[in-house]
Chains A and B, each alone.
Chain A
Amino acid sequence: MTHLLEVCNLHKSFTLHLIDGRTITPVRDVSFSVAAGEHLLIYGRSGIGKTSILKCIYRSYLPTSGAIWFDSQQFGRIDLCRASESVILRLREREIGFCSQFLRALPRISALDTLCEPLYRQQMDRATAQAIGREWLTRLGIAPELWQASPLTFSGGEQQRINLGRAFIARPRLLLLDEPTASLDDATKQVVIGMIRAAQAEGTAIISVSHDLAALGACADRQWTFQPAR
């Protein structure tokens, strides 16, 4: 089986220059791989470095050592630890999506535009992008009277739905989901699980990080209980 993503001996440490140059290492010697269409759930209590792994893959964090091999459509097999910033930006546009735990919405931008932004970045014309955006808003159960409002005025659950929509709408080949079901009610959790399954069926590989084993455990192909670094 060929892997879409292969993480090899990943280390991530932070040097805190403002606190006597102290070093903390949340990710130590982590290796795993994910195939196209596969869903890996990384499970474990909070504060042990699960999110750091996702952020290293997305390159919001600079990995300290190791390699993250990604089988890119645009660039071939490429090490995300060493890829240039412009390559990472293009991968983020087309191939790798990330859904953070909290929506970082921009003020004054409507829910529809916030959701469609990844499509605008792909140079899709606005009318087509917004037609797709409206479908997703309906699917995510956001009431039409809210579509022109800024998500900053939304409830936590509604914000999270917009956040998830932003990650799925660009149809990436690899989706990184950080606590995707946190702050969602049971009905919406089922919608999200439906979205995950549909993306998998299209061949998208998914890595989710969660402590919500009840909701995500059932839809993951593999579960991995992450142990804190020593």
Chain B
Amino acid sequence: MTSEHWLLHVEQLTKHFGPTCPDCRRLTGPDTGRSRCPRCGTVWACVDVNVQLAAGEVLGIVGESGSGKSTLLQMIHLAIRPDSGRIWYCDDGETPRDLLALDRYEARHFRNTRLGIVYQRPELGLNMRFSVGGNVAEKLLLAEWRHFGRIRARTAELMAKTELPPERIDDEPATFSGGMLQRVQIAKALASRPALLLLDEITSGLDVSVQARVLDLLRRIQWEDGITMLLVSHDLGVVRQLARRTIVMKNGHIVEAGLTDQILEDPQHPYTQLLVSSAL
């Protein structure tokens, strides 16, 4: 982080699924240990979430399954519409834009040009019927690249960057290993040179040596391209390696936010203390 310039500012973001009742908010949240209201069954996935991301920063989001991490990511990806709140986005030197005020066409254009996302499960991020080259090209076409030669050249460049064998450009994803698929997803996500990369548990379920290669790749992207990243993980080791700031979520709420070393060495919230003391 070299300037005070922020790229993304999430303000009071809230999302629930269900009918809601007057007691919902009181009966859910980290103090109750519940996200789902016992009266009406409403799930409060994110409540009053505030996050600011500096340009070039990697921010870690940790928390147990069901704490709202992925919902937050999906709202920033403009795939889930929040109930309330604002998502401000600001490229260097420009006026901040409220992403939730964009119409459908603008939102899709924004997502295709400025955002990249990588999922834990490759089939969510990739079209499994397209070749690797086809997947990268899809993202570029959506970002309004039109020249075939340039698309092909960019794909080759991305395969080199993500250490995928160039001769496999026309192979289908089904023929790739798990670790390679994550690198294909990263290649696709990076294709249109996004400003913000959203990473959702991308090393979970990979064996350690494969996980290591994916992390090395992310670190290289971080050092060489300075892309801003939002890194969701339940693995504190992954977050420690990549993120200098971390937020901790529980039952839809941010319970603690701070410098990653402070979160790990001097956790304040009971849940964070439990999380840190449970890590291997």
Contacts and interface: CB of A to CB of B under 8 A. Distances in A.
Interface of A: 14-18, 55, 59-62, 85-86, 88-90, 106-109, 120, 123
A108 B212 contact: yes
B253 to A, nearest CB: 17
Contact of B4 (A55, A59, A86): A86
The 9 closest A-B pairs by CB, nearest first: A17-B270, A61-B266, A60-B261, A60-B265, A17-B273, A85-B259, A18-B273, A60-B262, A89-B1
20 contacts: A14-B266, A17-B270, A18-B270, A18-B273, A18-B274, A18-B277, A60-B259, A60-B261, A60-B265, A61-B262, A61-B266, A85-B258, A86-B54, A88-B259, A89-B245, A89-B259, A90-B1, A106-B241, A108-B216, A120-B223
A52 to B, nearest CB: 9
Nearest to B266: A61
Given A18-B270, A18-B277, A123 B2 contact: yes
B268 A107 contact: no
Nearest to B276: A18
Interface in B67-115: none
Contacts, number: 47
Given A18-B274, A89-B259, A120-B223, A62 B2 contact: no
Contacts of A120: 223
- Kindly name the residue among B54, B223, B245, B262 whose own CB sees the greatest number of chain A CB atoms within 10 A: B262
Given A18-B273, A106-B241, A108-B216, A86 B266 contact: no
Nearest to A63: B266
B276 to A, nearest CB: 10
Contacts of B270: 17-18
B244 interface: yes
A124 B26 CA distance: 51
A60 B266 contact: yes
Q: Of residues B1, B223, B259, which shows the largest number of chain A Cβ atoms within 10 Å of its Cβ?
A: B259
B interface bracket (residues with beta carbon within 8 Å of A):
20 to 34
A13 to B, nearest CB: 11
Nearest to B222: A120
A62 B266 contact: yes
Given A18-B277, A62-B258, A89-B259, A55 B265 contact: yes
Given A61-B265, A85-B245, A16 B258 contact: no
A4 to B, nearest CB: 22
Nearest to B257: A85
Contacts of A88: 259
Contacts of B54: 86
B11 to A, nearest CB: 17
A90 B2 CA distance: 7
Interface in B184-224: 212, 216, 219, 223
Contacts of A86: 1, 4, 54
Nearest to A122: B2
Contacts of B266: 14, 55, 60-62
Contacts of A14: 266
Nearest to B258: A85
Interface in B1-28: 1-2, 4
A60 to B, nearest CB: 5
A162 to B, nearest CB: 17
Interface string B245-280: 100000000000011011001101110011001000
Contact of B262 (A62, A108, A109): A62
Contacts of B262: 59-62
B100 to A, nearest CB: 25
A219 to B, nearest CB: 28
